[in-house]
Amino acid sequence: MLSQRTLKTLTKAVGVGLHSGQRVELTLRPAAPDTGIVFRRIDLPEPVDIPVNAEAVTDTRLASTISVGQAKVLTVEHLMSACAGLGIDNLYVDITAEEVPILDGSASSFVFLLQSAGVVEQPAPKRFVRVLETVEVSEGEGENIKWARLEPYHGYKLTFEIDFRHPAVDSTGQQVVFDMSDGLDNAIVMDDYKVLNSDGLRYDDEFVKHKILDAMGDLYILGKPLLAAYSAFRSGHAMNNRLLRELLSRPSAYEVVTFDKALEAPRGFAALQPAW
């Protein structure tokens, strides 16, 4: 059986929110099978649980925000991307402010935290959302068009193309493909002509790779890993969430599946990543 996963023990981090500038403490804790990923605002007079799901997304300006009532958590996508990459199904995220700390700006710090705590299998089948029919959302037309699409695929593959039309981007890659069977970083600051980060870019095509990172996190807000090929042109947090909602609105377009034998699952999903 391909099993669900959680953490072996808890792990903590302290940082600041990218958009709020608030100091925030983050505690990642193991959770029982079928819990899902749940953010918990422990700084409020009465702690509030905010389970991750597509309908919980209430704001997509600059980042993905999830809410329950007045309680919200901003910028969840990089932590969600790390969880997607490590195949973590169940997790409690205790947080002392309304925004996930940016740390180094990528998913790598979250991957390090999760692997340091140890990832363990649980006695419950891992559930996937397998896309059966092509689902697409779009906006605008001509030079202003944006779109995102999910297509049937035995695995998980993401293809993203950007069109920033900026000198610093024109000299780097505008498209990248990431396949889960084969094996992401900081907010990038630019003026009108160049990258202002003191250490420059980590990859030649970092701009478009960062969009893949965001998309992985946005799509994992679905609550279960996807078996699909995702492709997008100039998409963002809002369109990614629209795509998930469109998928969920069409029951014939997907099914929830498990794998009795791990070897039956697509490559990249069966092996546990080693702890650091």
- Catalytic residue positions? 237
Q: Which long-range contacts (CB under 8 A, 24 or more apart) does 39-44 make?
A: 39/66, 39/73, 39/76, 39/93, 39/95, 40/92, 40/93, 40/94, 40/95, 41/71, 41/73, 41/95, 41/98, 42/94, 42/95, 42/96, 43/95, 43/96, 43/97, 44/71
Task: Name the nearest CA neighbour of 71 among 92, 95, 90, 55.
Answer: 95
- Give the integer Cα–Cα distance in Å for 140 and 127: 35
Task: Name the nearest CA neighbour of 25 among 112, 77, 101, 118.
Answer: 101
Strand partners, 110: none
**Which residues, including other chains, have CB under 8 Å from residue 171's CB and lie 6 or more apart?**
none
- Give the integer Cα–Cα distance in Å for 248 and 88: 22
- Give the integer Cα–Cα distance in Å for 110 and 100: 11
